[in-house]
Structure 1
């Protein structure tokens, strides 16, 4: 590990959700559902697929890094001078799924991005839970 890697910060949000991994996976990988809880996007669950998510404040450039259906999804999350990776991990439980989101790669001088992610991701997950509750 380089000094730079050792100094980066991560935002981790983990919660148990009362739905099976297969249902949560749909919310993570179907563009019309992603738009409901995150942002407009042109996502496709294909390794190497470049896509972006967009909101009123701007666009995030992304590229799918890893996919293990119903278990793991990882993509780059790059905006202006932030280069990071978002990784979703789904772990089945008796009552549903533990969903873990980690965004890693914040440099120490990128506190506004880091604080924004700390505030934003829990809200995005709240919105995802609302979407999941409405899905078939």
Structure 2
């Protein structure tokens, strides 16, 4: 039996952030804040809402899959042949929040996209933390 599921990889970034889930949730779901740390967008935290993330290099077609305020946000992330899902999980941790981002759906032939995402998400989360600190 050919099990292709094992070949699909994920990029996972986890951080402890010294802000409550509600504040991080706003930065993940308000378009003007998303634009500051990720990309320009027409996001709405509504299941099945289709939106576009756009940057100088191009755009990402997305669709909201799951919205559980202050806990979970998931959306598709489709660009340049990559069909993936981004899932944000917020877990209260002490005085702050454990933030977990998983982008799942990288095929074996998408090594460049996988490496790019591994690097890119670290930078996006650095930017996110700067937005939160303001």
Structures share fold, TM-score greater than 0.5: yes
**TM class by shorter-chain length?**
over 0.9
- Residue 103 of structure 1: SS of its match in structure 2? strand
Following TM superposition, by how much is the alpha carbon of 1:4 offset from its aligned partner in structure 2, in angstroms?
2.5
The residue aligned with 1:114 is 114
Aligned positions of 1:1-136 closer than 5 A? 3-134=3-134
For normalisation by structure 2, the TM-score amounts to 0.97
For normalisation by structure 1, the TM-score amounts to 0.96
Structure 2: 5+ residue runs without aligned partners? Answer: none
The whole-number CA distance in structure 2 between the counterparts of 1:34 and 1:70 is 15
- Residue 118 of structure 2: SS of its match in structure 1? helix
Instruction: Summarize deviations over 1:48-80 as a string: whole Å, max 9, x none.
Output: 000010000000000000010000000000002
The whole-number CA distance in structure 2 between the counterparts of 1:11 and 1:82 is 13
Structure 1: 5+ residue runs without aligned partners? Answer: none
Report the number of matched residues.
133
- Residue 76 of structure 1: SS of its match in structure 2? strand
Q: CA RMSD in A?
A: 0.9
